[in-house]
Amino acid sequence: MTRRLSLYMLLACAAAQAADVTTLQLKLRTRVEAFKGSGEWQEVHFEQSLPVSRTAILICDMWDKHWCSGASRRVDALAERMNPVLETMRAAGVQIIHAPSETMDFYKATPQRLRILAFARIDPPAALGLTDPALPIDDSDGGCDTPDHFYKAWTRENAALRIAPQDVVSDDGTEIYSFLKASHIDYLLFMGVHTNMCVLNRSFAIKRMTNWGEHCILVRDLTDSMYNPKARPFVPHEHGTELIIEHIEKYWAPTVLSEQLRQAAHDAVNHR
């Protein structure tokens, strides 16, 4: 009887611990080529539970200023919409990672930068070797849709995005991977710019992290592309961004809407 009671108590304790795990219940979108080689892709939705303690948001290259004035205006507007989402997710316990590339000098003495530097390096695994199909747009001209020329305009992250004490700051893929592994984080939600460039190709971006085995998700309404409608496929800027999002859903990662994140975070907090 005593042994049975002990076993029962152990099982009950394990069940209670499992029930206490706070999760984000999300509806993700992806693309499936049901008949391989047909070129016919179907939009598919599926449910996914993300444990809050194993989930992080990475903010990619939301700079204070961009060399392309059109991009700068869109980033400013995006930051205003992004920050309330970050506040909600942070309150739910989701880790926030700020990754404004090439601005680490600005943050070198901050606690958020020093915190991630304190983690021991963990070497990433060999890449999975996933295929990397060409983008559906031509961004070879730099993608700017206003008459500007390149120069290094950025010095820090956009000031509209609050960096909280528990956040971290890095623009290095191995640093961020080491932090994720040490923190037991398996799900990485991406916000920021630009979808066809930095969000896909930085050392911490979707391609690299997916090839290292991280489960990446793009927040599709909190991103923007560097695309000039005067280039192939000659569509409006917003449509160009949608094409890149579809490309990511086909080959790299599912996507989610920010309002779904906020609702999931609200539900998670209320069910604690």
Cβ–Cβ under 8 Å, residues 65 and 72: yes
- When the pLDDT of each residue in the chain is averaged and rounded to a whole number, the result is 93
Q: Using one digit for the tens of pLDDT, what is the confidence trace for 18-72? A: 444 699 999 999 999 999 999 999 999 999 999 999 999 999 999 999 999 999 9
The DSSP string of 103-141 is -HHHHTTSHHHHHHHTSPP-PPPPP-----PPPSS--TT
Whether residue 208 is predicted with pLDDT greater than 60 in this model: the reply is yes
| pLDDT exceeds 80 at position 7 | no
* Per-residue pLDDT, 109: 98
Residue 262 CA to residue 206 CA, distance in Å, equals 22
For position 272, what pLDDT does the model report? 64
- Cα separation, 259 vs 58, in Å, equals 17
Domains of the chain: 52-123+165-272 (3.40.50.850)
Q: How confident is the model over 221-244, as a mean pLDDT?
A: 98
CA nearest neighbour of 100 among 82, 81, 113: 113
Pairing of strands 95-99, 23-32: unpaired
Angle ∠(18,21,25) on CA atoms, nearest 5: 115
Amino acid letter, residue 13: C
Q: What is the pTM of this model?
A: 0.91
79-130 pLDDT, tens per residue?
999 999 999 999 999 999 999 999 999 999 999 999 999 999 999 999 999 9
Query: Residues near 69 by Cβ (< 8 Å), separated by ≥ 6?
Result: 146, 148
Q: How confident is the model at residue 271 (pLDDT cuts 50, 70, 90)?
A: confident
